[in-house]
Amino acid sequence: METLGAFIVEVGRCLANTVLSLFATLKNFQKNIQTLREELQKLICRENDITEDIDIAKIEGKHPPGQVKEWLKMVDKIKQEVEEIEQKARLLLEADPLDASIDQGCFLDSNMRQKYQLSKSAAKKCDEVKQLIKESCDLPPMEDRKLSDIRVEHIPAPSLVGQKAPEKLNQLMELLADKGITRIAVYGMGGSGKTTLVKTLNNRLESSASEFFDMVIWVPVSNDLDMKKVQSRVAERLNLALNAEESTERRAGKLHRVLKSGKRFLLILDDVWEKIDLDIVGIPQGDDQANCKIILTTRSLGVCREMMTDKEIRMELLNEEEAWNLFAQNAGNVVESEDINPLAREIARECGGLPLAIETMGKSMRDKTMIQLWQNALWQLKHSEPHYGSFDKVYLRLKLSYNSLPSKIFKWCFLSCSLYPENFLIKTRELIYCWMAEGLIGERQTLEESFNDGIAKLEYLKDSCMLEQGEGIGTVKMHSVLREVAIWISSNEKETGFFSSSLQGMLEKLQTSFRRVSFMNKSITSLPTRLLGASNLTVLFLQCNPLNKIPDGFFREVRVLKFLNLSSTQITSLPSSLLHLRELHTLLLRDCRSLENLPPLGGLYKLQVLDLCGTRIRELPKDMGKLIHLRDLNLSRTHHLEIIMEGSISGLSSLEVLDMSFSAYKWDVKRNVEGAAFDELLSLRQLSVLHIRLDTVDCVALDYAGPWFGRLKEYTIRIGTRSCDTNLPTQHDEKRVILRGVDLLKRGLEELLCSASALDLVSCGGMSSLSDIVARKSSCGLPNLKSLTISNCGCITSLLIGEQNLRSTLTNLEHLTLSRLDNLATMVDGIVRRGCLGNLKTIKVVGCGRLKKLISFALLRLVQNIEEIKVSDCRRMKQLIAENYYETLPKLKTIELRDMETLRTVCSREMEGSALERIEVSNCPRLGKLPFTACDALTIKQIRGDLNWWNSLRWRNDADKISLQQRFQATED
């Protein structure tokens, strides 16, 4: 019974505790709900703090660890659970707002059980919230962002083509390894293989990127630059989340922090058309760029300059063999067919070495066996009519370069080059005159300023890879495919008004929309009576045709013509209708070798350029002086020109350029002679360029000649007999004086010699040394002279005499040539003051039979900047350079020695510290030793000479010969 009683008591106690707990829970219902709300608010505050920390960490290039992400997930879950508890509590309170059941002790309330459960859940959930708050204090810090595991994304790319492409790939790899290089550009024509090269580089870095970079980021840019797209591409590779709604500046800040974090990055920006502001993108620059290199591809060298690249690599076009191999690879075995092979090779050549064009043409003709299809494709290529489909894609790709030109003026400058034949070397001067006539170059104060504008436009087109530098001086050329693109554009954009074709069907083809027409080099022998349907024509090319006559009325309908080129035709006269061309700006008749007579030209009052070079004219028109707007008159090589009426030249008040080199006209200083006298030239206030030949010194000896010479910026003045018609170029001939058979001490030459930058003295007398001229007070030491040639002056015994040179002379002379000076015994006699010849870079001596030593002790101390020495046919020459332990020639790079049987030594001791790179010896049998040792093998690149001579040389030891043997190259007998 006791046990039973104890049991009953215990049961009662538990029941009482349960009831009391139930009552307490019910009584604290609202309190528990309120406490839960308060603790949840604390948790939300902690969540906000951590979320803000995460945002800041992302900006710094860091990211939250897994524990933080898991904690945030738990917070989101518990917030939902608390929301459910609060929702149920609100419903209960709405049903019994006073909660009277508990306050009045009514335990049998119908909602009591729900309230109890909610109160109990709230208390439990409150403990969980407190635990999360506590855990938030122990969360780990933010971690550095983990870069993608893929260091380099593989990009499918075709194989490299051309022998130079692998060299350029290796060059890129070397530049990437160079810590001093941070920005590299690959530029070239559209379709030349730039993208293929950098894709191949990208893929090569898959195996070797870890040596250079932690990540390679490929960013396609295109001609429609979108900064946010560029940013997004970079961020994608960095695993960095960017908000599309954020400003470009804020996105840039995030990228910048990651890219300068210490990791090594390579950004490849492909197909860049304009300057990309790296700051706006977020790419580090300056000191911050040490670990972030950039490679960009572009069609424009100008873009490279704007982005200040450290190294530019130009993509070269394929040679003929490489082009054929690429074409055959794409066209298939059909090209080996005997009938098709010649056509296929011609098509490959027409693609001009451009990989894009070659591949496209090859694929379009792949496995086509009908010879008619090949003939048609070749015809369409040659006539710029690509209507067979796939080649249009090439034209459209290349047209992007045309579209990117900054203005319509640049586009028309480009299209005007298509008026010249394929692969033609276009003279820049002629092209610029065409642009001036068309108004593509604004009117400038002087021709020089207009030319500067034209040169700037040409350089822009060359930098954009739309024109190329020609092989000749002062020429450019247009790639054959780009020319076809230009003609294609002209045919589709009629408003440009360009038209280039053969004369066949000329009357039917010419339309009023045509403004610029070329029939150049089309074997035209005759012209129609009138040029109908061309009332808006402003430019007409008819040069290089075997024309012998132009009908009198031919120009009657083209009254707005501004530029007319009839050069290299066989015309004997000009038609009367020429005088109707009142708008004519430029008339070119160059090398019309049968042209003897000119009509009156005074009516062409807007004419600014007249080229009569190489014609057979005997006199200038009497009304020539009426051309008051004429700025450039070319009368060079007019070997039959004898009559220029008085006033014809002085009336040309706007004349800036006059070229009468090798003209037959004899200028006279006297005013009482028939024809124009020399003082008419003195009246031309605008004249800045003059090329002329004079028979005597009298003209330049005029008392008022000084100021006139001062206005000339460029000139070539020949004085002497007619037999001096040589035109060998010199290094500095912008102000060139050529004297033949002149007494150099005659009064009147001082001003001319003082201003000259190049001076040629041929068979001149009056001096025994150059010091007789340069030491005179009136000559001022010839301070402007940079190039000097002296030949056949038998009176010269020494070049300079120390006692006469009491001050520095020839201080800016860079190039010296001495030829056939039979009595020249020494270069320098006595001690000449330092500074004289101090800038001399090259010495060339030919046929000076008495000269035994070229550079004596006295001369050695003066010519420390000499870079090149060439000596030949000096039969008494024994030693080239004197021995001097205190002076050397530290910049000497090239020595050429020819035909000197007595020459024994270059220098009697080794040329220590020499920069010599090349020496060539020919027919110098007694030269038995070279002043080189094994140490010089590091700088010397080439030793050329006869094999027997090389084998007979004496060496200090075998090591010297063995080391230099690899530099030797035998010359042919």
pLDDT at 100: 40
How many folded domains does the chain comprise?
7
How many whole angstroms separate alpha carbon 358 and alpha carbon 394?
Answer: 10
Cα 214 → chain centroid: 32
How many whole angstroms separate alpha carbon 44 and alpha carbon 941?
Answer: 77
How many whole angstroms separate alpha carbon 396 and alpha carbon 190?
Answer: 10
Which CATH number do you get for residue 658?
3.80.10.10
pLDDT at 98: 47
How many whole angstroms separate alpha carbon 196 and alpha carbon 867?
Answer: 42
Point out the domain boundary residue: 268, 298, 314: 314
How many whole angstroms separate alpha carbon 861 and alpha carbon 864?
Answer: 7
Two tokens, residue 535: 């009332």
Point out the domain boundary residue: 496, 522, 548: 496
How many whole angstroms separate alpha carbon 940 and alpha carbon 919?
Answer: 8
pLDDT along the chain (973 residues), means of 10: 52 49 60 80 84 71 72 85 78 60 45 71 80 79 62 84 85 88 90 88 80 85 84 84 82 84 86 88 76 89 90 89 88 88 88 85 85 84 60 78 89 93 91 94 84 92 90 89 86 75 52 81 87 85 93 90 96 92 96 94 94 95 92 95 90 94 84 75 90 82 60 89 57 82 80 87 88 74 90 91 73 94 91 87 95 89 92 94 75 94 86 81 92 79 92 86 87 74
* Neighbouring C-alpha atoms within 13 Å toward the C-beta of 872: 11
pLDDT at 158: 83
Specify if 501 maps to a domain. no
Same domain? 689 vs 700: no
- Domain interval for residue 713: 695-833
User: Which backbone phi and psi does 296 adopt, to 5 degrees?
Assistant: -125, 150
Specify if 69 maps to a domain. yes
Same domain? 123 vs 249: no
Same domain? 674 vs 781: no
Same domain? 805 vs 866: no
Same domain? 955 vs 886: yes
Burial tier of 534 (Cβ tally within 10 Å: 0-12, 13-18, 19+): buried
Cα 616 → chain centroid: 42
How many whole angstroms separate alpha carbon 172 and alpha carbon 169?
Answer: 5
State the Cα angle at 211 between 210 and 217, rounded to 5°: 50
Same domain? 331 vs 198: no
Same domain? 197 vs 261: yes
Specify if 184 maps to a domain. yes
Same domain? 226 vs 367: no
Specify if 777 maps to a domain. yes
Two tokens, residue 729: 């170029």
How many whole angstroms separate alpha carbon 868 and alpha carbon 376?
Answer: 56
Other CB atoms closer than 10 Å to residue 670's CB: what's the count? 9
Point out the domain boundary residue: 446, 466, 496: 496
Same domain? 686 vs 699: no
How many whole angstroms separate alpha carbon 615 and alpha carbon 572?
Answer: 10
| pTM attached to this predicted model | 0.77
The H or E element that residue 144 is part of is strand 143-144
Same domain? 374 vs 472: no
Specify if 197 maps to a domain. yes
Q: Residue 446: name the closest of 631, 633, 634 by CA.
A: 631
pLDDT at 514: 81
Determine the straight-line distance between the first and last CA of the chain, rounded to whole angstroms: 143
Which CATH number do you get for residue 278?
3.40.50.300
Specify if 559 maps to a domain. no
Could you list the beta-strand ranges (E) of 170-290: 183-187, 215-222, 265-272
CA distance to 123, 562, 834, per residue, from 545 (Å): 107, 20, 59
Same domain? 14 vs 50: yes
Note the maximum CA span of the chain: 169
pLDDT at 687: 93
Specify if 555 maps to a domain. no
DSSP letter at 536 equals T
Same domain? 341 vs 410: no
**Single-letter residue type at 457:** K
User: Which backbone phi and psi does 91 adopt, to 5 degrees?
Assistant: -65, -40
Specify if 522 maps to a domain. no
H helical segments located in 624-739:
679-682, 705-711
State the Cα angle at 825 between 822 and 829, rounded to 5°: 140
Q: Tokens 């003026």 sit at which residue?
A: 409
Residue pair 556/579 in contact by the 8 Å Cβ criterion: no
